Amino acid sequence: MKFTELLTPQTIRQGMISSSKKRVFESIARIVEEQLQMENGEQCCFDCLFNREKLGNSGLGGGVAMPKGRLPQGTKSVGVFIQLETPIDYDAADKRDVDLIFAVLIPENMCGDYVRCLPTLAEHLTDKSLCKQLRAAKSADEIWQIFLHYDQCEVVQVEPAETETSISMQGGSEE
């Protein structure tokens, strides 16, 4: 799964000011509600994020967090990326304040499709080079371009590996 399959330029915020994790979740809920236009969408999204966070902190380390939530209805998953102007206390395991947040909200009936993708996204989000670029970005459009470029580079890196694997497997079966 690519970042740009979940994000849109409209769901990216750069230099956002927030005082707490709760305020960030409220902002994410507003952004998601604008995209999905659900009845009671903002409160529903906030509750999904907040209740999931109670089960376990979504901090990934290195100043990055990936909160997730299950939407009770819908046919479309939504990603929201926020670059905070000033890091906030997030109760992360590494005790580091968080300034990069990638939230994912998935309709409940589609969660099975995303279970295997989320750990890979989390791994990509902790890539030091990607984080450095995201922190240096000066606009939401620049962040979108960073994610587009990262997704394109990941495709290029994955394809040759798959080709090599299938070739080596064929060679191994002939012996």
Domain spans, the chain: 3-152
Q: Are 90 and 84 in contact (CB under 8 A)?
A: no
Give me the DSSP letters along 38-85. -TTHHHHHHHHHHHHHHHS--EEETTEE--EEEESS-S--EEEEEEEE
Look at residue 156 in the predicted model and tell me its pLDDT: 56
**The pLDDT of residue 172 is above 60:** no
Look at residue 169 in the predicted model and tell me its pLDDT: 40
Percentage of the chain modeled with pLDDT above 70 = 87
**The pLDDT of residue 163 is above 80:** no
How many Å apart are CA 23 and CA 11, to the nearest integer? 16
How many Å apart are CA 110 and CA 125, to the nearest integer? 22
**The pLDDT of residue 5 is above 80:** yes
Residue 116 φ/ψ, nearest 5 degrees: -75, -20
Average pLDDT estimate for 52-78:
91
pLDDT digit string (tens) for 150-160?
A: 999 876 554 44
Q: What is the CATH number of domain 3-152?
A: 3.40.930.10
**The pLDDT of residue 113 is above 50:** yes
Three-state DSSP at 174 gives helix
Q: Residue 95: CB partners within 8 Å, gap ≥ 6?
A: none
